[in-house]
Amino acid sequence: MTAQVDRTAGTAGTAEAAGVAGTAEAAGAGRAARAPGTVRRRVLVGAAALLMLTGGATIAHGAAGGTDGAPAPDGGGHAAHSTGTGAGTGTGTGAGEAGPVGGASRSGGFYMRADGVFSPPGSFVPSDALTYDTALVPAAARIEITQYADRTSHRVGTRLRGLVPNRAYGMHVHTSPCAADPASAGPHYQHRASATADPVNEVWLDFRTDRNGNGEAEARHEWGFRDGGARSVIVHDAQGGAGKRVACFTVPFSS
């Protein structure tokens, strides 16, 4: 909104009055011009605070970092399943969430990262990260999933924070996106369908949290996902091939 100043010439006797009126009107216009910006800033700050409180998820795509565009290797061989405690690890970039990052790396591989904040199904702010048991996966707990593939290997990693301290969790890649019903994510993704249910034929990301409730894991294989075959990860209340589904995160895995 902008104020309009009447610049039409008047009589000599009213020139001074018009000047005073114009000055007052210009000052009012300045206040009016500033007011919407102030309101907008307050609205944006309020929206950001609401998002932080209620949770959400984001996915970003872009060039991969590192010397060759991939995360730094950390031991383990193909088809290996490794776990860690991830003390003090976090996801995203500070109070908000990073966008999903992904794309071709300079070495010819592919890198993707997605992160989210867990919230119960039906929350005011929708999220791709859903918790079905807030005692085990509290609302506002965070998750990050990374994927890297090149000509010789395929790696899927996870980092979580804000879970129950010193507790074991199971995690697997599943075939369908998350929904209010935990069963909607479908079965485990399998390299050879209906073959063995183990870390060699599936992507297992079992982990144990540290005293701060943070955990991480990585799975490595020589094979990658079929197009559209892997759509989410499920957090289970127990390690191994089964367990109750306590949380889910929809992930844009690449084939």
Q: For the segment 52-84, what is each residue's pLDDT rounded down to a tens digit?
A: 444 444 444 443 444 344 443 333 333 333 333
The pLDDT value given to residue 250: 98
Q: For the segment 188-244, what is each residue's pLDDT rounded down to a tens digit?
A: 999 998 777 899 999 999 999 999 999 999 999 999 999 999 999 999 999 998 899
Tokens of 18: 């018009």
Question: Which band of pLDDT confidence, cut at 50, 70 and 90, is reported for residue 44?
Answer: very low
Lowest-pLDDT range, 85-94, 95-104, 226-235? Answer: 85-94
The model's pTM is: 0.64
Kindly state the average pLDDT of the residues 101-126: 81
Share of the chain above pLDDT 70, in %: 58
The pLDDT value given to residue 57: 44
